[in-house]
Amino acid sequence: MIVRRDEKVRLISHIPLFQSCSQAERARFATILTQVDVPAGEVLMREGEPGDRFFVLVKGHAEVRKGNRKIGTLGAGDFAGEVALLTNAPRMATVRTTTPVTALEATHDGFSALLDTSPAIQRKLLRALADRLAPAAV
């Protein structure tokens, strides 16, 4: 399965972090997404480790655990790691594939390069992140 650019843009449009971006801005983000195929049982991200990747699941399932407790599952269209693209915060949970997964991956370096060339996208994403984190702030 090869994920086409228009499918990448469609998937991005459902992610809260990118909802204020225009279709053209989402298409620019889609250019830094790389398709990865991951076997069942692989860790996509581990709680407490530095975050340097963001994933959007295209196909398959993954389990989300915080400590020893399962806190959720991910399937097609779900995403994880978006905060790591904008911060240096450690991972808040572990995500492990439970079936073979096809995902789209963005690296911190690719994302930073995109933001360096587009201050408009940068402002929109920082605002969306602040809105998302505000309810947890003291």
Show the domains of the chain with their CATH numbers: 5-136 (2.60.120.10)
Decide if 33 contacts 41 (C-beta within 8 A).
no
pLDDT tens digits, 94-118: 999 999 999 999 998 998 898 899 9
**Strands 94-97 and 43-45, sheet pairing:** antiparallel
Helices 23-30 and 119-133 meet at what angle, rounded to 10? 90
**Confidence at residue 115, expressed as pLDDT on a 0 to 100 scale:** 87
Decide if 17 contacts 55 (C-beta within 8 A).
no
User: Does pLDDT of 135 surpass 80?
Assistant: no
